[in-house]
Structure 1
Amino acid sequence: MGTKDREGFLKQFSVYALLICIGFIYLYPILHMISSSLMTLDDLLDSSIKWLPSSFNLENFRQAAASMDFWRALWQSVVLAGVPTICNLLSCSVIGYGLARFDFPGKKIVMAVIILSFVLPSQITMIPTYVLYSNLGIQNTIWAFVLPALFGQGFNAPIFILIFWQFFRQIPKVLIEASRIDGAGYFKSFYKVALPSAAPAFITVALFSFVWYWNESYLTELYVHGIYGDSSWTTLVIQLDNFSDNYSSYQQTATNAATNLNESINMAGTLLSILPLMILYFVLQRHFVESIDRTGITGE
């Protein structure tokens, strides 16, 4: 078991064995998806082939991308996730800073309402929100996501407000007071002093918000895409939800002979829908871990 200054073999072996088992549980579905997406129909029917395909069949990805209208859906997914995320950063940072730095009557009530709105399931407010968006004329448009985010009411905005609130509370008050003595106003103190030190909070909120907007399919289909496809806006997740119907339409209009829908093409379409997020995570992994550590988030 080792000593206080040096870890023993048994302890290290137990820790690494546990981490490997947990890592395998998380990686197994992804590895199976990658392996299956590269298989041909003969490989799927061959019981002797489990993990390694006889040949890498990239045609599955081409057909899946064509049926999903991949590039258009990818661009619209980035817009539908990115623009509300930027709005969340602007509104939630201002609200979190105000709650952290100013005392006003009813502040505790405001905090209680913010926490309650986070606990309240979105299904409860779904019908009133749908009616409100219809009356405002923003139904089936991107404004159904952008406008609420501008006012701090985006997807899971309360948790983002609490993240900024917690982070801005850690900034020494003497820095804000010193900027006020130098003649800076409230907004200049926020812009010049608070924001430059809040990079970890911004990275955390940006990643969480982008992923949540990207993965949201039901509310996107309800508010933006339209239940009956009334809008031209779509996302990769919606295209994946309707993958079977989309592939049938593609198969009927394809100039070349398209393969019948099988598990390999399904897995290829699934991999294409999560590939942008995987790339984003690997690029920002170091900054993401550091920001989580500095903002005090325990997990999601």
Structure 2
Amino acid sequence: MKKLDYRRLKSRSRHFLFGMNFTDGIVYKFVIYTLLISFSYIYLYPVLFMTVNSFMSVDDLINPGVKWIPSSLQFVNYGRALQVLELPGSIVGTTSYVLKVSISVTISSAIIGYGFAKFRFPLKNLLFVLMLATFILPSQVTMVANMLIFRNLGLMSTQKSMIYPAIFGQGVNAAIYILIFYQFFKTIPGVLMESAEVDGASQIKIFTRIAIPLAIPSFLIVFLFSFVWYWNETFITSLYVGGRITLPLKLQAFRASYETLFPPGTAGAELNEAIMLAGNMLTILPLLVLYFIAQRFFVESIDRTGITGE
């Protein structure tokens, strides 16, 4: 009887620790959650650091005893950062610009990806390789040629210099977007397309009525990727468009703008690290809000588009 109870206890303990298939045991879950918390802390630490320090006063910043809890919350740091970055007008302007180029590159990438996936034409493989090569080439290599082309076309220093390339599949990181659509459209059974052709559907109708509805996850993930990349892009935007049309570009000139609004020597208005961190937080805040709203759809889209190559 004692041996039977011992075996039952041993069996229950083993199931509790390791589960039926090891993946449902407490040991496996402990290891997984420990790794997840560790990696998430590595990625979240800069955001936590910026958030905490953006509310600190000058005394807290230079006080080695103050690490994570400010002695008092300095909301005035965000008030001054709002003035320098000209919010919320800057968010509206940046969002308007980024939406135009993101939607354009998403639509063009879908059309190009569908063409590579479903049609046969001369030099298809060569063109596909050249398309992928555009992602390898750094923007510094082609910037002189692009500037000459845009200047001859009268597009320099206008948003059209970013919108037109996006429309024709040459936007920022467009090769990756085309590859995502290509991978997804390749998974659509050819029998489905052939049956639609037998029923008299044209290629445009097949693309709009069959391919696009099935590719909604791909559209979502490409749009989110392009939105974030265009939002954070400063080098190409400042080179071709010029000015300070986006929040990241205004953040680059934060010090000069601040000194214009609050000249050096103004009592109680000296620029410090906390105010600059507040500006950083306000710049990335729209992207954080976008991610928290769309994170569920984002994860589902990655799983359904086969972006990992599965």
TM-score under structure 1 length normalisation? 0.92
Report the more deviating stretch, 199-208 or 54-63.
54-63
**Within the alignment, does 1:278 sit opposite 2:294 as a pair?**
no
1:55 CA drift (Å)? 2.3
What SS class does the counterpart of residue 123 from structure 1 fall into? helix
Equivalent position to 2:299, from 274, 289, 293: 289
Tell me the distance in 2 between the aligned counterparts of 1:118 and 1:126.
14
Q: Identical aligned pairs, as a percentage?
A: 44
User: Residues 47, 198 of structure 1: CA spacing in aligned structure 2 closer, same or farther, 3 A cutoff?
Assistant: same
Structure 1 letter corresponding to 2:300: E
Tell me the distance in 2 between the aligned counterparts of 1:197 and 1:11.
36
**Within the alignment, does 1:2 sit opposite 2:30 as a pair?**
no
Tell me the distance in 1 between the aligned counterparts of 2:19 and 2:41.
30
Equivalent position to 2:251, from 214, 218, 240: 240
- Per the alignment, residue 268 of structure 1 pairs with 278
- Per the alignment, residue 298 of structure 1 pairs with 308
**Within the alignment, does 1:171 sit opposite 2:182 as a pair?**
no
1:257 CA drift (Å)? 5.8
- Per the alignment, residue 249 of structure 1 pairs with 260
- Per the alignment, residue 138 of structure 1 pairs with 155
Could you report, residue by residue, the CA deviation over 1:269-288 in whole angstroms, capped at 9, with x for unpaired residues? 00000000000000000000
How many positions carry a matched residue from both structures? 291
1:234 CA drift (Å)? 1.4
Please say if residues 60 and 66 of structure 2, whose CA atoms lie closer than 8 Å, have aligned partners that are also in contact: yes
Equivalent position to 1:97, from 114, 120, 132: 114
Query: 1:1-300 alignment to 2 at 5 Å?
Result: 2=18, 4-6=20-22, 7-225=24-242, 229=243, 234-252=245-263, 259-298=269-308
Please say if residues 19 and 26 of structure 2, whose CA atoms lie closer than 8 Å, have aligned partners that are also in contact: no
Report the more deviating stretch, 42-51 or 91-100.
42-51
- The RMSD of aligned alpha carbons is 1.8
Could you report, residue by residue, the CA deviation over 1:58-93 in whole angstroms, capped at 9, with x for unpaired residues? 111110110122223212211221101111121111
TM-score under structure 2 length normalisation? 0.89
Tell me the distance in 2 between the aligned counterparts of 1:96 and 1:11.
41
1:4 CA drift (Å)? 4.7
What SS class does the counterpart of residue 269 from structure 2 fall into? coil
Could you report, residue by residue, the CA deviation over 1:226-276 in whole angstroms, capped at 9, with x for unpaired residues? xxx4xxx511101111111111011139xx966210011011000000000
Report the more deviating stretch, 41-50 or 189-198.
41-50
Report the more deviating stretch, 2-11 or 18-27.
2-11
**Unpaired stretches in structure 2, ≥5 consecutive residues:** 1-16
User: Residues 203, 248 of structure 1: CA spacing in aligned structure 2 closer, same or farther, 3 A cutoff?
Assistant: same
Please say if residues 217 and 305 of structure 2, whose CA atoms lie closer than 8 Å, have aligned partners that are also in contact: yes
Tell me the distance in 1 between the aligned counterparts of 2:276 and 2:179.
39
What SS class does the counterpart of residue 125 from structure 1 fall into? helix
- Per the alignment, residue 7 of structure 2 pairs with none
Please say if residues 200 and 295 of structure 1, whose CA atoms lie closer than 8 Å, have aligned partners that are also in contact: yes
1:20 CA drift (Å)? 1.3
Tell me the distance in 1 between the aligned counterparts of 2:304 and 2:26.
32
Tell me the distance in 2 between the aligned counterparts of 1:124 and 1:197.
37
1:3 CA drift (Å)? 5.0
Please say if residues 70 and 236 of structure 1, whose CA atoms lie closer than 8 Å, have aligned partners that are also in contact: no
Tell me the distance in 2 between the aligned counterparts of 1:9 and 1:177.
51
Please say if residues 101 and 163 of structure 2, whose CA atoms lie closer than 8 Å, have aligned partners that are also in contact: yes
Structure 2 letter corresponding to 1:283: I
**Unpaired stretches in structure 1, ≥5 consecutive residues:** none
Tell me the distance in 2 between the aligned counterparts of 1:298 and 1:104.
27
1:21 CA drift (Å)? 1.2
Which entry has the higher C-alpha Rg, 1 or 2? 2
